[in-house]
Amino acid sequence: MLIPLIILALVIWLGSRELHNMNIGRMLFELRRLSPWTILEIALFSLLAAGVMSSYDLVVRRHFRMPISIGAAFRYGWIANTFNNACGFAGFTGAGLRAFLYKKSGVPLNVITAAVIFLSPVVITGLSLLAWTVLARLFPGDQLLHAYPWLRWAMWGMALYLPVFLLVQRSRLFGKWFNQGKGTMPWTTIFASLAASLLEWLFAALAFGLVGTRVLDGVPLEALIGVYVIAATAGLISMAPGGIGAFDVTALLGLQLLGVHPDLALTVLLLFRFFYFIVPWLIALVMTAIEIIPKRERIGELAGSSWSYSLNKWQQIWAWPGQFRFLADLGVWALSKLVLASGLLLLLSAALPGLLYRLRFAEKLLTLPIMQLSHDISVIIGIMLIVLSHGISLRIRRALRLTLGLLFAGAIFTFIKGFDFEEAFFLLFVALMLYLSRSRFYREGAPVSRTNLLIWGGLTVLVTVAYLLIGAGGYSYFLHRLPLRMSTNLLFDRQHFGIKGLLSLMSAWVFLTMYLMMRPKRGVEELPDAAEMNRLREFIAHEQGNLLTHMLFLGDKQFYWAQEGKVLIPYARSRNKLVVLGDPLGPMDKASAAIQEFQGYADRYALAVVFYQASPAYLPLYHENGYRFFKLGEEALVPLESFTLSGKINTPLRTVRNRFGREGYSFQMAYPPFDDSLLAQLRAVSDVWLEGRKEKGYSLGWFNETYLQLAPLALVLDPQQQVIAFASLAPAYDNKQTISIDLMRHLPDAPNGTMDFLFTHVMEWARDEGYVTFNLGMAPLSSVGQSERALREEKLARLVFQYGGHWYGFEGLRRYKEKFSPAWEPRYLAYPASVSLPILTAELMYLVSRKMD
């Protein structure tokens, strides 16, 4: 891993003096001067050079007699080689992809292994052969090798690779490993593989030379090829993806030694990188989608699935096969990057003046104020498009509509400011792609957090600063090319250029803020009103509740009524998560469909659904809907039928109860409605117990007088009949089977054992009332991560349980509840695979700590 960094650091250190004169503004201007026909010529030849690389796969297909067609071999070669160019790492990327694609086509594993191993040393033989041509001065590179002697040693090492390869591959050991034990490799295969490697590197060098001859004046093609071979050797030694860094710096130094200005040298590199590396790789992405997705997944199956968007006519005409599902995601990702590129393009276009003849022509047809206003509006639109690209990636319908309008407006204004029809056509093309894909944009909104605002606000500041630096950096270079009246009044006014950029940034922020504030209110944020609470009461009157149902009356959860109101899913939002409290309420046979319905509802707002304190009975339903699990702890459920204070094991509880009776303390059950004097006493006890701490919420009850009026209270009274401790109860609404402890408070100076006294009495009361089970609440992280094969996260939670007593007392809480001989039932966190568990844990902690009044 250190080799690429060392090589890159060495090259940059040696060439740092040559690189400080670069002017990004001039480089971009030179790119802009290229004619469309030149760009097309470079693009077509670069695609041809990328296609030549597939000759490797044609060779191994023939030699190893693989049962694949020539077309399949060509596609596999294109995918493997372009990914290898983009991701690199000494050919491991290409080898891995070849192995995967060949195996998918039914090629035996031993044949795949032999073919991949055979190709690994062959790939660089062509570069080794070209290294000999440089050392023999057929393609000159003396200036670069003389300036940096270490490169000469690298070239000799590369050149000597070819004879070593030829000697080794004819050995019996080579034949055993590389020719499936069939003896030495035949000369026909050797020469075919050498020819394939030579074609790859020669066409790559010619693509580099073609770019150089079209951008530079007077630099011969053979000199450009020499620079490429030396730079490619440095890049290969670095093992960096595509030789990035070492190749680029070496090529820049070589071009400068040929008398090329640094800005023009960088222009050559950018064009070569884009057309030889990036464009073929993007094509490979689509080809990969076509190869990987199973053929059985047809568009008809998808049309009848539960996807929330329908197929439009454009998609039906193209009739994508099974790769539609993958390409839908890939397509939206690509569209968002196109929108981002559109914003950057508008800023770059505005930072540089248009071509001189167009500006003069525009000045004759339009007034300078109109051209200047169009320039300023283009900057504002560019900044907004950069922000909206995130909304496009999230498939938000409102972002699509606004983006389409901005793209059309941007095309008009960038055309008006200087007849920049290339930029206008690109924006219209992106708008067309968005319009044809409009059915994919089904979301009504997405959460806007402070983090998102900071990220995108910071990004817009950075691009605005880049816009100012590029414009200011190119000012002195372009100024003398413009007519005096235009240079002082149009775009590059020294005094106002920076102010205009800052005003454009502020205008974009103001517009997007207004648009955000005017968005429709989302139902996901609405807390239940009185009507919803009445509906909840009617619902639990005829449907089974659970241990957490009583918490719904706190009023801090939203209600989602699924399956035509037959299933209730209570939830609260924490950033981009909808956290469901417990399991869905309602018939269990409708729970899975209800979960899917709620997932679709959350997806419309780009939110993920999480189930907090899920019970074991519902785990199969969560699993089939794509959830992972983390054990939160165990619930202490006391079977009341067998609960007793008799026996040796319960001696401590019996002793506490007798002691409290002798000292004049008493237990009392109070039933709603409660009078104001009792509530005032309870409030005083609660305030002292809190000691200024903030109440918790969500899955925990807090002191709320309206909420306390809904269930009985257990009170402990001192000899003066004053309340020193109390606990509210929470029925499970399960036909009087289970009741839970909810809010528990006591005075700090209450006698030791006060809560034991309360619990023993309240459990006897619940047994007498006909309840079957008493819930003492959950022991967090209890019995988590005990197995040696437990998940890493659960093992970490186990350490927290054992050693986190200083902060919470996890293990002590478990031991305390063990005194009442409960049965322990696990509780889980069910979360999607796309959600980070550590981040989700922090969000849940914040949610529980955030009490809503």
Higher-confidence residue of 842 and 530: namely 530
Is there a single domain that holds both residue 337 and residue 284? no
DSSP 637-666: EEEGGG--S-SGGGHHHHHHHHHHHHTT-E
Q: Which of 389, 286, 383 is nearest to 336 (CA)?
A: 389
**Which helix (DSSP H) or strand (DSSP E) does residue 293 occupy?**
none
| CB proximity list for 253: less than 8 A, separation 6 or greater | 11, 14, 15, 18, 144, 147, 148
Q: Can you tell me the distance from the alpha carbon of 24 to that of 264, in angstroms, rounded to the nearest whole number?
A: 10
pLDDT digits (tens, 9 = 90+) for 637-679: 999 988 888 878 888 888 988 999 899 999 999 999 999 999 9
Is there a single domain that holds both residue 231 and residue 371? no
Is there a single domain that holds both residue 66 and residue 130? yes
Cβ 504 vs Cβ 346: under 8 Å: no
Domain presence at residue 341: yes
Ramachandran class of 355: left when φ > 0, alpha when ψ lies in -120 to 50, beta otherwise: beta
**Which helix (DSSP H) or strand (DSSP E) does residue 805 occupy?**
none
CB atoms within 10 A of CB 823: 12
Give the pLDDT score at 67.
82
The two tokens of residue 168 are 């080794």
Give the pLDDT score at 474.
52
The two tokens of residue 733 are 């609404």
pLDDT digits (tens, 9 = 90+) for 117-164: 777 778 788 888 999 998 888 888 888 888 878 788 888 988 898 888
Is there a single domain that holds both residue 670 and residue 764? yes
Q: Can you tell me the distance from the alpha carbon of 197 to that of 199, in angstroms, rounded to the nearest whole number?
A: 5
Give the pLDDT score at 319.
37
Higher-confidence residue of 281 and 47: namely 47
Is there a single domain that holds both residue 273 and residue 329? no
Is there a single domain that holds both residue 331 and residue 244? no
Give the pLDDT score at 218.
81
Strands of the sheet containing 666-670, edge to edge, are: 558-562, 567-574, 577-581, 608-614, 823-832, 627-639, 773-780, 738-746, 723-731, 713-717, 666-670
**Residue at 644: amino acid letter:** T
Give the pLDDT score at 804.
46
Q: Can you tell me the distance from the alpha carbon of 309 to that of 602, in angstroms, rounded to the nearest whole number?
A: 15
Higher-confidence residue of 849 and 754: namely 754
Give the pLDDT score at 490.
46
- pLDDT over 70 for what percent of the chain? 75
**Which helix (DSSP H) or strand (DSSP E) does residue 543 occupy?**
none
Strand, helix or coil at 823?
A: strand
Is there a single domain that holds both residue 245 and residue 329? no
Burial class (CB in 10 A: 0-12, 13-18, 19+), 252: buried
Distances 204 to 200, 262, 499 between C-alpha atoms, Å: 6, 22, 45
Give the pLDDT score at 321.
37
How many domains would you assign to the chain?
A: 3
pLDDT at 487 over 50: no
Domain termination site, one of 517, 537, 571: 517
Q: Which residue, chain included where needed, has tokens 């094991």?
A: 649
Higher-confidence residue of 828 and 177: namely 828
Q: How many residues does the chain have?
A: 853
DSSP 144-207: HHHHSHHHHHHHHHHHHHHHHHHHHHTSHHHHHHHSTTSSSPPHHHHHHHHHHHHHHHHHHHHH
Domain presence at residue 47: no
Give the pLDDT score at 762.
93
Question: Could you tell me the sign of the dihedral formed by the alpha carbons of 701, 707, 712, 718, in that order?
Answer: positive
Give the pLDDT score at 619.
93
Higher-confidence residue of 753 and 373: namely 753
3-state secondary structure 551-575: HHHHCCCEEEEECCCCEEEEEEEEC
Q: Which of 205, 183, 187, 163 is nearest to 46 (CA)?
A: 205
Domain presence at residue 308: no
User: Which of 117-131, 525-539, 750-764 comes out lowest in average pLDDT?
Assistant: 117-131
Among 56-60, 399-403, 475-479, 500-504, name the most confident range.
399-403
Distances 215 to 29, 333, 478, 603, 632 between C-alpha atoms, Å: 12, 32, 18, 49, 63
Q: Can you tell me the distance from the alpha carbon of 693 to that of 747, in angstroms, rounded to the nearest whole number?
A: 15
| CB proximity list for 320: less than 8 A, separation 6 or greater | 299, 327
> What are the beta bridge partners of residue 730?
740
Higher-confidence residue of 204 and 447: namely 204
Domain presence at residue 22: no
Give the pLDDT score at 568.
94
The stretch 223-242 carries a mean pLDDT of 80
Give the pLDDT score at 511.
75
> What backbone torsions phi and psi does residue 298 show, to the nearest 5 degrees?
-95, 165
3-state secondary structure 195-225: HHHHHHHHHHHHHHHHHHHHHCCCCCHHHHH
Domain presence at residue 721: yes
Cβ 132 vs Cβ 162: under 8 Å: yes
Burial pattern 277-300, b for ≥16 Cβ within 10 A else e, equals bebbbeebbbbbbbbebeeebebe
Domain presence at residue 535: no
Domain presence at residue 202: yes
* CATH code for the domain of 750: 3.40.630.30
**Cis bond before residue 838 (omega within 30° of 0):** no
Give the pLDDT score at 208.
93
Give the pLDDT score at 16.
52
Is there a single domain that holds both residue 385 and residue 463? yes
User: Which of 21-35, 188-202, 393-407 comes out lowest in average pLDDT?
Assistant: 21-35
The stretch 2-23 carries a mean pLDDT of 54
Q: Can you tell me the distance from the alpha carbon of 557 to that of 532, in angstroms, rounded to the nearest whole number?
A: 11
Q: Can you tell me the distance from the alpha carbon of 284 to that of 101, in angstroms, rounded to the nearest whole number?
A: 13
Average pLDDT, the chain: 78
Burial pattern 377-413, b for ≥16 Cβ within 10 A else e, equals bbbbbbbbbbbbbbbbbbbbbbbbebbbebbebbbbb
pLDDT digits (tens, 9 = 90+) for 337-368: 888 888 888 887 777 655 444 555 455 556 56
pLDDT at 22 over 80: no
The two tokens of residue 655 are 């002793």
The stretch 605-623 carries a mean pLDDT of 91
The two tokens of residue 566 are 């037959």
pLDDT digits (tens, 9 = 90+) for 558-608: 999 999 999 999 999 888 889 999 999 999 999 999 999 999 998 888 889
Q: Which of 126, 390, 369 is nearest to 233 (CA)?
A: 126
Give the pLDDT score at 535.
92
Domain termination site, one of 292, 307, 330: 292
Q: Are strands 627-639 and 608-614 parallel, antiparallel or unpaired?
A: unpaired
pLDDT at 843 over 90: no
Domain termination site, one of 486, 517, 548: 517
Q: For the chain, how far is it from start to end, CA to CA, in angstroms?
A: 54
Q: Can you tell me the distance from the alpha carbon of 483 to that of 360, in angstroms, rounded to the nearest whole number?
A: 8
Q: Can you tell me the distance from the alpha carbon of 142 to that of 137, in angstroms, rounded to the nearest whole number?
A: 8
User: Which of 490-494, 687-691, 843-847 comes out lowest in average pLDDT?
Assistant: 490-494
Q: Give the domain range for residue 433.
A: 322-517
Is there a single domain that holds both residue 330 and residue 218? no
pLDDT digits (tens, 9 = 90+) for 797-827: 555 544 444 445 567 778 888 888 899 999 9
CB atoms within 10 A of CB 337: 14
pLDDT at 515 over 50: yes
User: Which of 63-72, 368-377, 553-562, 750-759 comes out lowest in average pLDDT?
Assistant: 368-377
Q: Can you tell me the distance from the alpha carbon of 410 to that of 534, in angstroms, rounded to the nearest whole number?
A: 52
Domain presence at residue 532: no
* Helices of type H across 723-836: 754-768, 792-803, 810-818
Is there a single domain that holds both residue 283 and residue 333? no
DSSP 443: B
Is there a single domain that holds both residue 70 and residue 164? yes
- The number of helix segments (H) and strand segments (E) in the chain equals 37, 11
The two tokens of residue 542 are 């005829």
Q: Can you tell me the distance from the alpha carbon of 457 to that of 448, in angstroms, rounded to the nearest whole number?
A: 12
Is there a single domain that holds both residue 288 and residue 353? no
